[in-house]
Structure 1
Amino acid sequence: MLLDGKNTVVYGGGGAIGGAVARVFAREGARVFIAGRTLSKLDAVARDITAAGGKVETAQLDVLDHVAVNEHADTIAATAGGIDVALNAVSVTHDQGTPLADLSLEEFMRPVDGFLRTLFITSKAVARHMGGDRPGVILTLSEPGARLAVGGILGHGVSAAGKEAFARILAAELAPANIRVVTIRPHAIADAPAAGSYTKDVFKPVAQAAGQSIQEFLEHGLAQGTLLKRLPTLSEIAETAAFLASDRAGAMTATIANLSGGALVD
């Protein structure tokens, strides 16, 4: 198993991506700690993991509360003996499709402040308990908006670019401590709406303007802009995360795993 004996933390573990990754981490032998704001969603993921024979613990946690996040990480390290892998899969609802002239400062800053603040808080909390004789891995998530030159995604694009820069610089800082930092950059996710993702809320105005349903917009709009003519699935993202978190990817850091289906070509 890829992650046998590893202690893993998934922030936003009740969400579509976080839950999918947590399930795969557990299947691959990891002890999984999932944290997030909505206990019912965390419990649903935990039931799946337990039913499959995995090890999981849940914690209701506001990742914007740096004191609570630090205490949670300290507790995990004390009980489990350290933290080997952490993924920040926290979602921040934000605007897409509004041009500069109509975009408020609040809406522009919502993803910039929200995503980067949670990334800073969670990374700082877990890094103290990683590395040394046990290699540590911090996984982050980004989006194609970090590099796309299209209108209407100012806040989204800036926040995504910020997350990628954050991960790259953090990787350089933490490398001497034997901690890797790798970013996963999927596109919009084909099956995310059905899994309860907030994707439908983000793209609803754009889809409506095009006279399409959310699924039609994903399948016939965004998907057609990729080389593969399809969007990534939650399973593909989760399986990639498990590989990147494992020792098999031990030479990978300060880089981006491009799961955009060829929407972006690195």
Structure 2
Amino acid sequence: MSDLLNGKSVLVTGASSGIGAAAARVFAQEGARVVLAARREDRLAALAEELKGQGAEAAYVVCDVTVAEDAVRAVDFAVETFGRLDGAFNNAGLGGDRTPLHLMGDDVYDAVMDTNVRGVWNCLRPEIAAMLEGGGGSIVNNSSVGGLVAIPAAAAYIAAKHAVVGLTRAAADEYAKQGVRVNAVAPGTTRSEITADWFGRNPGLEEMVNGMTPQGRTADPAEIGAAAAWMLSDRCPFLTGTVMPVDGGFVNQ
């Protein structure tokens, strides 16, 4: 166990799988006291037990980030459990369908925007409030390379992830002098349930994307978690309002 996040209370949304679960493991290995939040209680309970079995402090709370009251309850739970909220990784997200814009249904647009944008909005408000009360903290939002560039047949997702970048920069600017840092990580193609679904329904897509990535591969979700851990830590106190691509060089193309 390292000390990058030693003793810090960190909330992770979307913690039941993919990048969220991997990040929670990384945070725990770095010494954080982790609060896991997602909709699937069985997975949260299993992950919490796994982390505690490795000597970490971990707890979980069932939370749907699209529901503002759930987000408030998750933050309150973190504060009640560990005494304060030092960090948050707003990771919960939805990929949606890969469909041309003119054929994309309103239901897809609404679902993607509700989870990826309103979900971050719902979490930011109580997280910032708790951190202001506690004297400061650090937040990392999970955007995507899709928040920096365009990807075909994913208009709702691209719009949502660009909005996450905007929320990140706005919050960073607003609270910089009050001790709350807000940054975002922008993963490239990463192994997760979302990408597995996309690749499964679009044969050849993974090979195409990897072919556009200088490193020529798909990321392990723990690699995204490691970047988020550094951004949450006290090792980078002058870093705020930054969107960090973790993408094998994809956005350089």
For the aligned pair, the TM-score class normalised by the smaller chain equals over 0.9
Cα–Cα, structure 1 residues 71 and 262, in superposed 2: closer, same or farther, change >3 Å? same
Offset at 1:120? 0.6
Deviations 1:197-250 (A, max 9, x none): 23222333322xxxx4xxxx42x2211101222232212111111111110011
Equivalent AA in structure 1 for residue 115 of structure 2: G
Please name the residue that 2:218 is paired with: 231
Structure 1 CA distance for aligned equivalents of residues 167 and 15 of structure 2 = 21
Give unpaired runs (5+ residues) of structure 2: none
Matches within 5 A, 1:1-266: 1-96=3-98, 98-131=99-132, 134-189=135-190, 191-192=191-192, 197-207=193-203, 212=204, 217-218=205-206, 220-265=207-252
Offset at 1:265? 2.4
Percent identical residues: 27
Conserved 8 A contact 1:35-1:60: yes
Structure 1 CA distance for aligned equivalents of residues 241 and 208 of structure 2 = 31
Conserved 8 A contact 1:132-1:178: no
Moved more, 231-240 or 118-127: 231-240
Conserved 8 A contact 2:79-2:85: yes
Q: Structure 1 stretches (4+) deviating beyond 6 angstroms?
A: none
Structure 2 CA distance for aligned equivalents of residues 29 and 49 of structure 1 = 11
Report the secondary structure of 2:250's partner residue.
Answer: coil
Moved more, 112-121 or 68-77: 68-77
Report the secondary structure of 2:217's partner residue.
Answer: coil
Offset at 1:141? 0.8
Report the secondary structure of 1:247's partner residue.
Answer: coil
**Count of residue correspondences:** 251
Return the TM-score normalized by structure 2: 0.92
Return the TM-score normalized by structure 1: 0.88
Cα–Cα, structure 1 residues 157 and 129, in superposed 2: closer, same or farther, change >3 Å? same
Offset at 1:63? 1.9
Offset at 1:173? 0.9
Aligned CA-pair RMSD? 1.8
Structure 2 CA distance for aligned equivalents of residues 258 and 53 of structure 1 = 31
Structure 2 CA distance for aligned equivalents of residues 47 and 8 of structure 1 = 17
Structure 2 CA distance for aligned equivalents of residues 149 and 17 of structure 1 = 21
Offset at 1:90? 0.8
Equivalent AA in structure 2 for residue 3 of structure 1: L
Moved more, 198-207 or 22-31: 198-207
Deviations 1:131-172 (A, max 9, x none): 477431111111122233443111111111111111011111
Equivalent AA in structure 1 for residue 123 of structure 2: T
Conserved 8 A contact 2:4-2:229: yes
Cα–Cα, structure 1 residues 244 and 79, in superposed 2: closer, same or farther, change >3 Å? same
Structure 1 CA distance for aligned equivalents of residues 62 and 238 of structure 2 = 34
Deviations 1:88-109 (A, max 9, x none): 111224112x112322222233
Structure 2 CA distance for aligned equivalents of residues 16 and 5 of structure 1 = 24
